[in-house]
Amino acid sequence: CEVCMNTCPSKEKALVMEPIDSQKEVEAANWEFAMTIPVKDKLWNKFSVKGSQFCQPLLEFSGACAGCGETPYVKLLTQLFGDRMMMSNATGCTSIWAAAAPSMPYTTNAEGKGPAWSNSLFEDSAEFGFGLYLGVKKIRNKVAELMQEAISLDIPQELKEAFQEWLEGMYNAEASKAATAKILPLLEGQTNPVIQGIADRKDFLIKKSNWAFGGDGWGYDIGYGGLDHVVASGEDINILVLDTEVYSNTGGQSSKSTPAAAIAKFAAAGKKTKKKDLGAMAMTYGYVYVAQVAMGADQAQCVKAFKEAEEYPGPSLIICYSSCINHGINMTKSQQEMAKAVKAGYWHLYRYNPLLKEEGKNPFILDSKEPELDSFRDFIMSETRYSSLAKLFPGQAEALFQKTQADAKERYEFYKKLAEG
């Protein structure tokens, strides 16, 4: 798809494209060799742009369109949390490129750990993911009860200490991993029924990272009721909306995320109404972590938002700008398109972290710079979904272009006010 080549920051052009027939033989051998090299994911802070890329992607060889803007976000998530992830996936492109049966691009690491993935209906990814989360919570609470009981029994001191350590860190991913590594070998040969009960549930000792995914058709429209219900619950679940601003998988129907003036199915003469601000709606709860990201515009902000959302001990919603073939752009530069969208003030980057309130700080951080609104028109006219409106409906196009620019400006002013407290 050439995205890697166009995105690689190396000035020396570390990556170049060559015809496959000239490369197959020599590169096949290199690939085999590369696959024998162990993953070196402990060399850097994995929650940095560079460090994250030393972690093994547990999503590979998907069936997505070349240049898809959705897959890089999910690949990054699997690099950060994939060994303990549990995902529910709304039907849409994210489920179709992820399960082009009989192949499955989600994979496991050398320890056999990888994302547990399942596809819900188009309508109910949030509810389905919430059910998975509640099931895990119930089982882990039972483990905690059994460990508390076990500590009062006549069992080896080492095991008591390991159980105590787990109880203290059960909601912390790294602490639960460390305690689990101590517990598992000590469980062997134990016959006490209480300890047996813990051993039966050993897959749940490491804190899970629970996610519900889907596109904007799901998150903004059809699955919104469920999404709202789940974020309102206050429970520790993460929601990822891959926002292509249309129903991509069924051919590009308009959603509430589609901005005014964009041509989409059901909006053949350009959408008349403003894009819904899903993030702002979720922020009104005050206890939901909310972020808007665009990987191609700011990779560091994206990694930071994923980390903060996952660690936040409550509901999180991340809305990811995802370039798509439906936009009518050069997909080999889909990441650069995201950067242009942010620069022009078409899309904004922010993080709303309720934890900051406890420190007496403003929870809203506007991460994108003051947009260059002069380039807004150039940006939208570079995408066929907008430029074709001028050709097809010249009489109404100008008013809609002005409206969509005014909508984007209004949105930015709103975020600016939030950032100023």
Ligand X SMILES: Cc1ncc(C[n+]2csc(CCOP(=O)(O)OP(=O)(O)O)c2C)c(N)n1
Q: Residue 242: enclosing H or E segment and its boundaries? A: strand 238-243
Pairing state between β 238-243 and 316-321? parallel
Residue 217 interacts with ligand X (CB under 6 A)? yes
Nearer to ligand X, 244 or 292 (CB): 244
In the complex, what is the shortest distance from the CB of residue 249 to ligand X, in angstroms, rounded to a whole number?
Answer: 3
Residue 218 interacts with ligand X (CB under 6 A)? yes
Find the binder of ligand X among 23, 250, 273, 402 (CB under 6 A): 250
Residue 122 interacts with ligand X (CB under 6 A)? yes
Residue 123 interacts with ligand X (CB under 6 A)? yes
Nearer to ligand X, 62 or 368 (CB): 62
Residue 247 interacts with ligand X (CB under 6 A)? yes
Nearer to ligand X, 275 or 351 (CB): 275
Nearer to ligand X, 242 or 293 (CB): 242
Cα–Cα–Cα angle for 233, 238, 242, nearest 5°?
A: 120
Q: Which of 334, 321, 233, 322 is nearest to 279 (CA)?
A: 321
In the complex, what is the shortest distance from the CB of residue 97 to ligand X, in angstroms, rounded to a whole number?
Answer: 9
Nearer to ligand X, 121 or 186 (CB): 121
In the complex, what is the shortest distance from the CB of residue 45 to ligand X, in angstroms, rounded to a whole number?
Answer: 31
Tokens representing residue 144 in the block: 């905690």
In the complex, what is the shortest distance from the CB of residue 125 to ligand X, in angstroms, rounded to a whole number?
Answer: 9
Cα–Cα–Cα angle for 385, 369, 340, nearest 5°?
A: 25
Pairing state between β 209-215 and 238-243? parallel
Residue 215 interacts with ligand X (CB under 6 A)? yes
Residue 213 interacts with ligand X (CB under 6 A)? no
In the complex, what is the shortest distance from the CB of residue 257 to ligand X, in angstroms, rounded to a whole number?
Answer: 8
Q: CA-CA-CA-CA torsion for 24, 30, 36, 40, nearest 10 degrees? A: -120
Compute how many residues bind ligand X; rule: CB under 6 A.
Answer: 20
DSSP 365: E
Pairing state between β 238-243 and 246-247? unpaired
- Ramachandran sector of residue 275 (left: φ over 0; alpha: ψ -120 to 50; beta: rest): beta
| Residue pointed to by tokens 């710079």 | 369
Q: What are phi and psi of 277, to 5 degrees?
A: -100, 85
In the complex, what is the shortest distance from the CB of residue 153 to ligand X, in angstroms, rounded to a whole number?
Answer: 50
The whole-angstrom separation of Cα 85 and Cα 334 is: 27
Residue 216 interacts with ligand X (CB under 6 A)? yes
The whole-angstrom separation of Cα 385 and Cα 260 is: 11
In the complex, what is the shortest distance from the CB of residue 334 to ligand X, in angstroms, rounded to a whole number?
Answer: 14
Near ligand X in 33-92, by CB under 6 A:
90-92
Near ligand X in 252-291, by CB under 6 A:
255
Residue 323 interacts with ligand X (CB under 6 A)? no
DSSP 209: E
Tokens representing residue 259 in the block: 């901005």
Cα–Cα–Cα angle for 266, 271, 275, nearest 5°?
A: 115
Residue 214 interacts with ligand X (CB under 6 A)? yes
Position with the least CB separation from ligand X: 215
In the complex, what is the shortest distance from the CB of residue 148 to ligand X, in angstroms, rounded to a whole number?
Answer: 43
Residue 371 interacts with ligand X (CB under 6 A)? no
Nearer to ligand X, 105 or 354 (CB): 105
In the complex, what is the shortest distance from the CB of residue 221 to ligand X, in angstroms, rounded to a whole number?
Answer: 8
- 8 A C-beta contact, residue 74 and residue 330: no
Q: Round the CA-based radius of gyration of the chain to a whole number and report it.
A: 23
The whole-angstrom separation of Cα 130 and Cα 126 is: 6
In the complex, what is the shortest distance from the CB of residue 157 to ligand X, in angstroms, rounded to a whole number?
Answer: 53
Near ligand X in 82-121, by CB under 6 A:
90-94, 121
Residues that bind ligand X (CB under 6 A): 90-94, 121-123, 214-218, 242, 244, 247-250, 255
